[in-house]
C-alpha cells in the first residue's frame, strides 16, 4: 500500500517537500527481526511504527479473507502512523560526515529541521591526509536545500574544538553521532604499533574526546542523545581486523556505561553496528553489494534513536539494507564446580563442561547487578549446601521429582479473615492513598458517601492464608523460606470487596515448575463470602536453588503475564513513596523483617530494607484505577504483574500505562534510575455501564464514521493497487451499547475499490463485527487486531 503525503519529508534523491512512503504488506509469517524489501523510501517513522503493524501468525496464510481483513486494520494504523519525526531547534554533530554514512546522517537530520555540524578531517580511509572539500560539499548541499549547517575540519582527537564549533554557531549541542573511522587492516602478526594506535585514537579515543566535550553541556540542559558506531567485526571478530575489532568493541563498553551515567540527566546513549558502503568499505566489498548497502538504509535508525520521543537507552543494534535487529547478552545457567572447604579442580570443570556450555534455559542479564547477583546466589548455595557435586545420582533426581509432584493438588488449612473499615483504610494509606488527592478520600474516610475498599486489598486476604505456616507442612515442599521470592501475582475480583466483612479462604498448590535455577510454586487461593466466591488470587513463588530435578517448565494453570505494547505509553502517573512506606504497609499483615530490619536486609544482600513488592503492586493498581476508571471499584476485574526489581522506601514510582480496549497494560519504574520494578503487567476493567443500549441512527454518534470516509478518500488514489493485493469484500458491523449502530462495506475486489455505508451489494467475503470503541482503539494502534479476534471482541 502506498500513501502520498505532501507534508511529509523526502527521500535522499528528492527535494524536501514531497515523498512517497511504502508499507510492507501483511504476510503469513511469524514476527521476524527484519523488514521485507518493500520499503521504497526507508524513513525513521517506520522504525517508530514497526510495533504498530502486528505480524500475522502462520494460520492466516491459509485464510486469505481473515488475513485481508486484518490488513485493513493494519492499514488503518498506518494511515495514522503520525507526523514526521522533526528535529527543529536541535543541534546535531556528526563526525566523519564528509561521505558515506556520516553524509547520509547529516542530510537526514538537516532535512528534518536540525542545525548540523558537519565534521570531516578530509583524509582517505586509512587516515592519511586532510582537507576541507568533503565537509564543505555536504554543508553546501544542506544549505542549497534550505537547511542550516557549518563545517568543521578538526580531527576527532580534538573533541573540544569540534564541540566549540557547535556552541559558537548555534549555542548548544543536543546530539552527537560518533561516526568517524578509518581502516588499517593487517593480519595479527603484521599489525604495527602505529596501525594499532591510530585505529584506537580515531575510533575509541576520538569518540571519547568528542563525547566528553559535549557531556557537561548535555547534563546542564538535561537532554542529550549519543550514538556510538561499533561493527560486526567488534561484536564477532574478523580476520585481519584485530586492531579495528578491539576498538569497536571498546566503544560498546563505553556506550553501556554512558547510558547508565547519563540516564538521570535524560542523556541516552545507544550503539549501532551498521553494514553500509562507504569510503572505508569500498576496498573490501564488491561494487554491487555496496550499492545494496546504501547508507540511506541505516540513517532512519540513527534518527529514531536520537529523537526526543525515543526512550531506548543502552541498546545495541545491527542495521543494513533496510533490516534492523537488536542484540542482547545471553548466559547459560552454568554449574557450581566446587564444594565448601574443598579445592576447585580442572577435573570438576571438565565433568561439568556440557552443563557449563548448555544454553537451554539461559538467562539474559541486562546489568552488572544481575550478573553479580547470581554470584551471590552461588556463594549462598555453597555455604548452605556444601556445594554441588559433579554428578547427581539418578536416584536423587527421581526422589526430588516425585516429592515436588506429590505436592501438586495438596490443600492448605482453611483460613478465615475478618476485617473492618480500619483495615481497609490502613491498606489504602499503605499503598499511597492520601488526603492530598480529594479523589482518594473515598478510600481513607469511612464517612465518605462512596467509601470503598481498594480492589487490591484482596491480596492481603489471600496472603494471610499462606503465611500461617501451612505451606511448610505440605509433603514434598521442604524448603528454606529465606530463599523464597515472590515472582508474580494475579488477583481477580468476582464482585467489589465489601467495606468490611469476613471471608473464608481455601488455598491449594496448583502446580510446581522446574526452572533450572529454582522452583516455581503456584498457589491458588479462593476467598468466599458465605458460599459466594468474592476473589481469587494466584501466587507464584520462586524457590532459589532447588531446580534441576527434571520437572516440567510450563503449566496451563498459570495466569500468564503479558508484555506491554512496544509504543509510547498512553498515560504516565508518578507517586513518591515515604521513607516510612514499608513500615506503614506491613501493618496490613506482611510482617517479613526484610522490609523493616536493616540487619535482616543486609543478610539478604540489600543495603537497607526494601519496599514490599505488593505495596508497589497496590500503588500501580491505584494509578490505573484512578486514570482509566475514575476510581470506580465496580469496574475492576483483574490484575496481573511480575516482580522484576526491588524498590527502596522514598523512591518515586512511575506507572506507564497502555490502553487496549478494556485491558490496561502497565509497567512500573523507579523514577531517576529507570529500573522496571513491575513488568508484563495488566489490569482488566469492566466496560463502562453508562453507554446507552438503544439502537443508534444509522452512523450517528459513531467515531468510526470519519475513519471509513477517510479510507474512501484514500482509495481514490491507491485503490487499484490495494485491490490487486486483497481481492475481497468486507462488511463491517459497528456496534455501540450492544446494538449495531452502522454497517459499512469496503470493496477491495472490484475495479479500483470502494467504501460505502450499508451492507455489501452482493455477498461479502468477510463480515467483521466490532464495537465503535474497539474499532477506534485498533485504528489508533492501541489494540492489536489479532488479540481482539481471539478475545472475542
Kindly list the catalytic residues. Answer: 244
Which residues face 766 on adjacent strands?
A: 730
- Torsional sign, CA 551, 556, 561, 565: positive
- Which is nearest to 66 in space by CA: 53, 56, 51, 79? 56
SS3 at position 573: strand
Q: In 10 A of CB 382, how many CB atoms?
A: 17
- What whole-number distance in Å separates Cα of residue 64 and Cα of residue 73? 14
Rounded to whole angstroms, the Cα distance separating 170 from 212 reads 19
Contact assessment for residue 272 and residue 263, using Cβ atoms and an 8 Å cutoff: no
Q: Residue 562 burial (CB < 10 Å; 0-12/13-18/19+)?
A: middle
Alpha-helix runs per DSSP H in 408-453: 421-430, 441-444
Strand-pair category, 175-178 with 91-94: parallel
**Own/partner long-range contacts of 286-295 (Cβ < 8 Å, ≥24 apart):** 292/321, 293/320, 293/321, 294/104, 294/321, 295/100, 295/101, 295/103, 295/104, 295/105
Report the alpha-carbon distance of residue 767 to residue 581 in Å, rounded.
53
Q: Which helix (H) or strand (E) holds 522?
A: strand 518-529
DSSP string, 38-99: --SS--HHHHHHGGGSPPPPGGGGG-HHHHHHHHHHHHHHHHT--SPP--TT-EEEETTTTS
Q: What are the phi and psi torsion angles at 511 (to 5°)?
A: -170, 165
Spatial distance between the Cα atoms of 624 and 431, rounded to a whole number of angstroms: 13
Give the three cell numbers for residue 273.
553496528
* Nearest residue to 459 via CA among 552, 538, 353, 520: 538
Output the CA angle 355-361-364, nearest 5 degrees.
105
Is residue 115 within 8 A of residue 93, CB to CB? The reply is no
Contact 455, 494 (CB under 8 A): no
**Look-up of cell digits 516455581:** 520
Residue 739 forms beta bridges with which residues? 736
Q: Is the dihedral of CA 439, 441, 447, 451 positive or negative?
A: positive
How far apart are alpha carbons 464 and 588 in whole angstroms?
10
Alpha carbons 761 and 757: distance in angstroms, whole number = 11
Strands (E), 577-629: none
H/E stretch holding 619 reads helix 613-629
Amino acid at each position: 500500500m502506498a500513501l502520498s503525503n505532501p507534508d511529509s519529508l523526502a527521500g535522499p534523491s528528492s527535494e524536501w517537500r514531497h515523498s512517497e512512503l511504502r508499507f510492507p504488506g501483511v504476510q503469513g509469517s511469524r514476527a521476524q527481526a527484519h523488514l521485507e524489501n518493500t520499503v521504497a523510501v526507508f524513513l525513521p517513522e517506520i522504525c517508530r511504527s514497526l510495533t504498530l503493524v502486528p505480524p500475522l501468525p502462520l494460520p492466516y496464510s491459509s485464510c486469505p479473507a481473515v488475513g485481508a481483513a486484518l490488513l485493513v486494520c493494519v492499514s488503518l494504523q498506518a494511515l495514522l502512523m503520525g507526523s514526521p519525526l522533526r528535529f527543529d531547534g536541535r543541534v546535531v554533530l556528526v563526525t566523519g560526515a564528509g561521505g558515506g554514512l556520516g553524509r547520509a546522517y547529516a542530510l537526514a537530520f538537516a532535512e528534518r529541521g536540525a542545525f548540523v555540524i558537519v565534521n570531516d578531517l578530509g583524509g582517505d580511509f586509512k587516515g592519511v591526509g586532510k582537507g576541507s572539500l568533503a565537509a564543505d560539499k555536504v554543508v553546501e548541499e544542506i544549505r542549497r536545500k534550505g537547511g542550516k549547517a557549518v563545517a568543521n575540519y578538526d580531527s576527532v582527537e580534538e573533541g573540544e574544538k569540534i564541540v566549540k564549533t557547535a556552541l559558537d554557531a548555534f549555542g548548544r549541542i543536543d546530539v552527537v553521532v560518533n561516526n568517524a573511522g578509518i581502516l588499517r587492516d593487517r593480519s595479527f602478526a603484521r599489525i604495527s604499533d602505529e596501525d594499532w594506535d591510530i585505529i584506537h585514537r580515531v575510533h575509541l579515543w576520538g569518540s571519547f574526546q568528542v563525547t566528553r566535550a559535549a557531556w557537561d553541556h548535555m547534563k546542564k540542559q538535561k537532554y542529550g542523545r549519543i550514538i556510538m558506531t561499533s561493527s560486526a567485526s567488534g561484536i564477532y571478530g574478523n580476520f585481519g581486523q584485530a586492531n579495528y575489532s578491539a576498538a569497536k568493541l571498546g566503544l560498546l563498553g563505553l556506550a553501556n556505561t554512558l547510558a547508565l551515567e547519563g540516564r538521570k540527566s535524560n542523556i541516552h546513549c545507544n550503539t549501532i553496528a551498521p553494514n553500509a558502503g562507504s569510503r572505508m568499505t569500498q576496498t573490501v566489498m564488491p561494487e554491487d553489494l555496496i550499492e545494496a548497502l546504501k547508507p540511506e538504509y541505516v540513517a532512519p535508525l540513527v534518527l529514531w534513536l536520537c529523537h526526543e520521543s525515543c526512550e531506548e537507552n543502552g541498546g545495541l543494534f545491527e542495521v543494513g539494507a533496510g533490516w534492523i535487529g537488536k542484540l542482547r547478552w545471553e548466559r547459560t545457567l552454568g554449574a557450581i564446580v566446587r564444594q565448601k572447604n574443598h579445592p576447585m579442580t580442572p577435573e570438576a570443570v571438565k565433568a561439568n563442561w556440557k552443563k557449563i556450555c548448555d544454553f537451554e534455559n539461559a538467562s539474559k542479564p541486562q546489568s552488572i547487578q544481575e550478573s553479580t547477583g547470581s554470584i551471590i546466589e552461588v556463594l549462598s548455595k555453597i555455604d548452605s549446601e556444601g556445594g554441588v557435586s559433579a554428578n547427581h545420582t539418578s536416584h536423587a533426581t527421581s526422589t526430588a521429582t516425585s516429592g515436588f509432584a506429590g505436592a501438586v493438588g495438596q490443600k492448605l488449612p482453611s483460613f478465615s479473615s475478618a476485617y473492618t473499615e480500619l483495615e481497609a483504610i490502613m491498606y489504602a494509606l499503605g499503598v499511597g492513598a492520601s488526603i492530598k488527592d480529594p479523589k482518594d478520600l473515598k478510600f481513607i474516610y469511612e464517612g465518605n458517601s462512596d467509601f470503598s475498599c481498594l480492589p487490591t486489598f484482596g491480596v492481603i486476604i489471600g496472603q494471610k492464608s499462606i503465611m500461617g505456616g501451612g505451606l511448610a507442612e505440605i509433603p514434598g515442599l521442604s524448603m528454606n523460606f529465606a530463599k523464597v521470592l515472590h515472582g508474580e501475582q494475579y488477583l481477580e475480583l468476582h464482585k467489589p470487596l465489601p467495606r468490611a466483612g469476613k471471608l473464608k479462604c481455601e488455598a491449594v498448590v496448583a502446580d510446581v515448575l522446574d526452572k533450572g535455577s529454582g522452583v516455581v510454586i503456584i498457589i491458588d487461593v479462593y476467598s468466599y463470602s458465605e458460599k459466594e466466591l468474592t476473589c481469587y488470587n494466584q501466587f507464584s513463588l520462586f524457590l532459589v536453588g532447588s531446580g534441576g530435578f527434571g520437572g516440567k517448565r510450563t503449566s496451563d494453570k498459570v495466569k500468564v503475564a503479558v508484555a506491554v505494547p512496544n509504543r509510547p505509553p498512553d498515560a504516565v502517573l508518578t507517586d513518591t513513596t515515604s521513607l516510612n512506606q514499608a513500615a506503614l504497609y506491613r501493618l496490613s499483615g506482611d510482617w517479613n523483617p526484610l522490609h523493616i530490619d536493616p540487619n535482616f536486609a543486609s543478610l539478604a544482600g540489600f543495603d537497607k530494607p526494601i519496599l514490599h513488592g505488593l505495596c508497589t503492586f497496590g500503588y500501580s493498581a491505584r494509578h490505573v484505577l484512578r486514570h482509566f476508571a475514575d476510581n470506580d471499584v465496580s469496574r475492576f476485574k483483574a490484575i496481573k504483574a511480575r516482580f522484576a526489581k526491588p524498590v527502596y522506601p522514598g523512591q518515586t514510582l512511575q506507572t506507564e500505562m497502555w490502553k487496549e480496549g478494556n485491558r490496561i497494560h502497565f509497567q512500573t519504574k523507579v523514577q531517576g534510575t529507570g529500573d522496571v520494578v513491575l513488568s508484563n503487567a495488566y489490569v482488566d476493567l469492566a466496560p463502562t455501564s453508562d453507554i446507552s443500549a438503544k439502537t443508534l441512527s444509522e452512523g450517528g454518534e459513531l467515531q468510526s464514521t470519519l475513519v471509513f470516509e477517510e479510507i474512501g478518500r484514500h482509495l481514490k488514489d491507491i485503490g487499484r493497487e490495494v485491490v490487486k493485493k486483497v481481492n475481497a469484500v468486507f462488511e463491517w458491523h459497528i456496534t455501540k451499547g450492544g446494538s449495531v449502530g452502522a454497517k459499512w462495506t469496503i470493496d477491495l475486489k472490484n475495479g479500483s475499490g470502494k467504501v460505502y455505508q450499508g451492507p455489501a451489494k452482493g455477498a461479502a467475503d468477510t463480515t467483521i463485527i466490532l464495537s465503535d470503541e474497539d474499532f477506534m482503539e485498533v485504528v489508533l494502534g492501541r489494540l492489536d487486531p489479532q488479540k481482539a479476534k481471539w478475545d472475542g471482541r
